[in-house]
Amino acid sequence: MPATVLVLVETINDYLPILEHQGFHLILAPTPAERAEAVTRHSGQIDAVLTRGPLGLYADEIAALPNLKIICVIGAGYEQVDLQAAADRGITVTNGAGVNASSVADHAMSLLLSLVRDIPRCDAAVRRGEWPKIMRPSLAGKRLGILGLGAVGMAIAKRAAAGFDMTVSYHNRQHRSDVPYKFCSTPTELARASDFLIAATPGGLGTKHLINRQVLEALGPNGFFVNIARASVVVTADLITALEQRRIAGAALDVFDAEPKVPDALKALANVILSPHVAGLSPEATQGTVELVGRNLVAYFSGQPVLTPIELPKGVVTQAVQ
């Protein structure tokens, strides 16, 4: 009997035949109402769940799915998946780290270029029949700081260094001896050494609020900030204040605390560019991500090791009463 996969992701429908052709039965539940109904109605049928970091899978949902064996997360982040609940049940969790790195890096550089060169204001002015001579900085020769030098951070660094002659520094959980970029021991040190700062780190408790008032002060009034990571990496109130008071020059954001809601204070600012969490979306990235999910599912249900496992916390050990 084919394994049944509950699909919570709303952006991959065109590529779901990849999984169907591998023999998996799919239940689509992209809205909160459909999700709740599917968990209740099909609880005993679901063997696997396909989700993404912000959508997650919660402890009560895991408890409601007695036959759940594997959770596959699209993209690198898995911040809303209850890893402890999965570990307690012995459920495997995988992610798609690195598959969409090119797409996210392209979007990061697009946001940076648009922000620094003020493309939205130029576009709006021309549409109004105006012809302003807006003087903006160049990217060439500037200092780029990257918070998180994983697959996405590396893709950004290569584009910045090779394509724009930028000097690259980074902060990471660990120093990397395999890269030519300068390591900074703290986010504040990184910001102080940067003209532009890009957050490219995963979300979760380990990276929560790494970008705060102190870091933004270190970036300074001529500095620009781009976030294609997770909103949890930033203290949003500190960012808004820094932008309002021009303690930094501007910000470009693809991620927000309560998506799809965006603070009105951010919408009102002229020195901010906003995009609707689409950095990782491209046909190439989506196809590659679904293909990786398929390989993980096939491996798991064939009794083989999955390709991209997430390290889980220790599960609860229950002992029989003597």
Among residues 35, 171, 192, 277, the one annotated as catalytic is 277
The rounded distance, in Å, linking the Cα atoms of 280 and 278 is 6
The rounded distance, in Å, linking the Cα atoms of 236 and 124 is 27
The rounded distance, in Å, linking the Cα atoms of 112 and 227 is 10
Contacts of 310 (CB under 8 A, 6+ apart): 73, 78, 83, 93, 94, 95
The rounded distance, in Å, linking the Cα atoms of 262 and 274 is 9
Question: Under a CB-based contact definition with an 8 Å cutoff, are residues 57 and 265 in contact?
Answer: no
Burial (CB count <10 Å: 0-12, 13-18, 19+), residue 295: middle
Among residues 20, 37, 259, 284, the one annotated as catalytic is 259
Whether 277 is a known active-site residue: answer yes
Burial (CB count <10 Å: 0-12, 13-18, 19+), residue 154: buried
Among residues 25, 230, 244, 311, the one annotated as catalytic is 230
Whether 259 is a known active-site residue: answer yes
The rounded distance, in Å, linking the Cα atoms of 36 and 61 is 9
Whether 171 is a known active-site residue: answer no
Supply the residues annotated as catalytic. Answer: 230, 259, 277
